Amino acid sequence: MAAYLVVDSRLTDPELYEQYKLKARPLAEKHGGEYLARGGKTTVKESDLWSPTRMVLIRFPSMEQAEAFYDSAEYQQVLGISKQSAERTVFVLEGM
């Protein structure tokens, strides 16, 4: 069953975040990830619990592959760049 890595980011240093994007994408793809959306226009219909800012959606073939990507030593090194340049909410959602 597929899994979706969902990321909502508020960029605090857009220039530095560009470095993160360049390094993170190949790692996600190495783990079977496919970017479905990244930073596109969002229309919020309801926001009682959460109001998204800048969304990224990556589909992985399985929950295990999504977790393996996020937990990998390679990604953990790159993740530091993101933490310096953005505030984020990240979760993995199992789906179809």
Q: What values do phi and psi take at 52, rounded to 5? A: -65, 155
∠ CA 39-76-16, rounded to 5°: 45
Q: Which residue has the higher pLDDT, 36 or 96?
A: 36
Tell me the per-residue pLDDT of 42-55, one tens digit each, with 9 for 90 and over.
Answer: 999 999 999 999 99
Q: Round to the nearest angstrom and report the end-to-end CA distance of the chain.
A: 6
CB 56 within 8 A of CB 6: yes
- Residue ranges and CATH numbers for the domains of the chain are 3-40+52-94 (3.30.70.100)
Question: Whole-prediction pTM value?
Answer: 0.93
| Short-list 71, 1, 81, CA closest to 31 | 71
Tell me the per-residue pLDDT of 11-33, one tens digit each, with 9 for 90 and over.
Answer: 999 999 999 999 999 999 999 99
Tell me the per-residue pLDDT of 53-89, one tens digit each, with 9 for 90 and over.
Answer: 999 999 999 999 999 999 999 999 999 999 999 999 9
**pLDDT number for residue 18:** 96
